[in-house]
């Protein structure tokens, strides 16, 4: 295949059960499924479930249970506009499936345990996100998922969480230091559950300077100051670095979300798919975060297209 322009590449990292896959798929739907390829790093396991159990290693071990070298090669091939043929992993069976072809669409979203683990992976990303979900939510979601779609009992899931904890602390949590944005889901005990929002969640955004520009938190802080949203704004130290933080809670009205999207990017640059997600009357914090992050990604893509056009015209 002839190489095309480079794609806009987003990386999402975090522990199992944190919500990475769901978030990546939501971004895919908002940006337009035909424009986005989502790659799960679980497909780059080097050992199947039985093999990991036999030798006593968890999937969180980057070197003993994963083929990160192949992942790096594939990520840079996609970034440079080339099609790849990648492995697949089936969580239902714990075994590998047939290989699949991935084309370099406008957006590539990488999500998995080790997305930010290697410098060579981080260098390929235009935006990096770390999911730091509250333990109560993460355990609840992981038990629900793994005891349903993946065939485990709740007791087995809880035991596996404890077994994996040392590897989480050693291999996964340090990646937080490399993320442009840390997203922290927390239970929201002040919001009354409803049919539309049965599990109220507050969303904390922590952001460091990147390319000397703050991208999202300052707009959330401004939106809170203007009364558009319910957002607390402060600074805190995360993994040894001071970060600017905004915590979003409650319900956001449609008109307020339109204004926030205009602040973060430019609503007129968004495709019909993104705009179609701006038609509800009210939005919970998770939905707001997805739409705003998708808007940031769309704006990045527009900026890259504009730069390439300028270069072509020279």
Do 38 and 122 lie in one domain? The reply is yes
> Residue 258: its pLDDT value, please?
86
DSSP 45: B
- Checking if the pLDDT of 138 tops 90, the result is no
- Give 213's pLDDT tier (boundaries 50, 70, 90): low
Percent of the chain having pLDDT more than 90? 61
Tokens of 87: 């492995």
Do 204 and 313 lie in one domain? The reply is yes
Percent of the chain having pLDDT more than 70? 89
Here the CATH number for the domain that contains residue 47 is 3.40.50.300
Ranked by mean pLDDT, the top range of 58-67, 147-156, 191-200 is: 58-67
The HSE-up count of residue 221 (CA atoms within 13 Å, CB side) is 14
Q: How far is CA 274 from the centre of its chain?
A: 17
- Round to whole Å and give the CA distance between 311 and 108: 23
- Domain range spanning residue 292? 180-314
Question: Which tens digit of pLDDT belongs to each residue from 269-311?
Answer: 555 656 677 888 889 999 999 999 998 898 888 777 666 666 6
Model-level pTM? 0.90
- Checking if the pLDDT of 104 tops 90, the result is yes
SS (H, E, C) 206-243: EECCECCECCCHHHHHHHHHCCCCEEEEEEEEECCEEE
Do 5 and 111 lie in one domain? The reply is yes
The average pLDDT across 140-157 equals 81
């Amino acid at each position: 295949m002839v190489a095309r322009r480079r794609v806009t590449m987003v990386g999402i990292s975090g522990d199992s059960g944190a919500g990475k896959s769901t978030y990546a798929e939501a971004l895919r739907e908002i940006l337009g499924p035909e424009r986005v390829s989502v790659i799960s790093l679980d497909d780059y396991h080097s050992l199947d479930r039985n093999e990991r159990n036999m030798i006593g290693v968890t999937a969180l071990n980057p070197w003993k249970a994963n083929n990160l070298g192949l992942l790096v090669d594939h990520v840079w091939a996609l970034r440079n506009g080339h099609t790849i043929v990648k492995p697949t992993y089936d969580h239902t069976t714990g075994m590998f499936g047939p290989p699949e072809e991935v084309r370099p669409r406008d957006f590539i979203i990488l999500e998995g345990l080790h997305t930010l683990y290697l410098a060579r992976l981080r260098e390929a990303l235009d935006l990096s996100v770390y999911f730091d979900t509250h333990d109560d939510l993460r355990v609840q979601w992981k038990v629900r998922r793994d005891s349903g779609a993946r065939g485990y009992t709740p007791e087995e899931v809880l035991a596996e969480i404890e077994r994996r904890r040392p590897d989480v602390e050693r291999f996964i949590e340090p990646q937080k230091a490399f993320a442009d944005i840390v997203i922290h889901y927390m239970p929201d005990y002040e919001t009354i559950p409803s049919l539309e929002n049965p599990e109220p969640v507050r969303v904390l955004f922590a952001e460091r300077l990147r390319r000397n520009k703050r991208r999202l938190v300052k707009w959330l802080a401004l939106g809170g100051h203007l009364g558009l949203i319910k957002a607390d704004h402060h600074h805190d130290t995360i993994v040894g670095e001071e970060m600017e933080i905004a915590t979003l809670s409650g319900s956001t009205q449609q008109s307020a979300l339109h204004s926030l999207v205009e602040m973060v990017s430019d609503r007129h640059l968004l495709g019909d798919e993104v705009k179609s997600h701006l038609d509800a009357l009210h939005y919970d914090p998770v939905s707001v975060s997805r739409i705003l992050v998708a808007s940031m990604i769309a704006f990045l893509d527009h900026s890259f297209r504009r730069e390439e056009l300028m270069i072509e015209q020279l």
